[in-house]
Chains A and B, each alone.
Chain A
Amino acid sequence: TQLLEQSPQFLSIQEGENLTVYCNSSSVFSSLQWYRQEPGEGPVLLVTVVTGGEVKKLKRLTFQFGDARKDSSLHITAAQPGDTGLYLCAGANGGYSTLTFGKGTMLLVSP
């Protein structure tokens, strides 16, 4: 069974601070996806990383896929209250396989 461990489980910060969320596994994944879920909504896909060592930027969010494709990180610069939500990483093996989800990191950004 492939497992994805996310850390921290909960993060409470002030607006303007930087933060990093980690997603680690002992297994190799062909791709990894990051989602953000706001209360009362379904998860929204933020990014997919597929190449070991890949770095993708989405405005203030930077995503990195580890060289060995076993881990990933999400860095947010100058966090804003609108970044508040549950951040989920999910790994896939093959284009049509089901996803393995981590337990999520709950981020709270206070004004």
Chain B
Amino acid sequence: SAVISQKPSRDICQRGTSLTIQCQVDSQVTMMFWYRQQPGQSLTLIATANQGSEATYESGFVIDKFPISRPNLTFSTLTVSNMSPEDSSIYLCSVLNSYEQYFGPGTRLTVT
């Protein structure tokens, strides 16, 4: 398994600002993922972040809006840029370890 922490756990932000979410893992992992979960909904994959390469974004998500950093094998950040109320959601970091995927506790973002 893997123990994953995220910061902040929640935040309330104003429209037009940006927020950077941090994800820390207790072991080295190759593949990390960022998901979005809107209220009452399932998980939608934003991007896959592998160390040493550019993040791979899913359809509907772009680097300018959701820039991702992956400086080493235990850490990643996701920035939500130029936020609007539609970005209000839970953002989840996830890692692949031994063919199984584990999730952080999530960051609950509210944009006003």
**Chain A residues near B (Cβ < 8 Å):** 31, 33, 35, 40-45, 48, 88, 90, 92, 95-96, 98-99, 101-104
The complex places the Cα of A63 from the Cα of B26 at a distance, in Å, of 29
Smallest CB gap from B99: residue in A = A95
Across-interface contacts of A41 in B (CB, < 8 A): 105-106
Place the interface of chain B in its size category: 20 to 34
Contact status A101-B43, CB under 8 Å: yes
Given A35-B103, A48-B100: 10 more A-B contacts, CB < 8 Å: A40-B105, A40-B108, A45-B103, A48-B99, A90-B101, A95-B99, A99-B101, A102-B42, A103-B41, A104-B41
The complex places the Cα of A98 from the Cα of B105 at a distance, in Å, of 19
- The yes or no answer to B111 lying at the interface (CB within 8 A) is no
Which of A31, A88, A90 meets B99, CB within 8 Å? A31
Q: In the assembled complex, how far is the CB of residue A12 from the closest CB belonging to chain B, in whole angstroms?
A: 15
Contact status B31-A43, CB under 8 Å: no
Which of B1, B100, B105, B108 meets A33, CB within 8 Å? B100
- The yes or no answer to B96 lying at the interface (CB within 8 A) is yes
Across-interface contacts of A33 in B (CB, < 8 A): 100-101
The complex places the Cα of A42 from the Cα of B9 at a distance, in Å, of 11
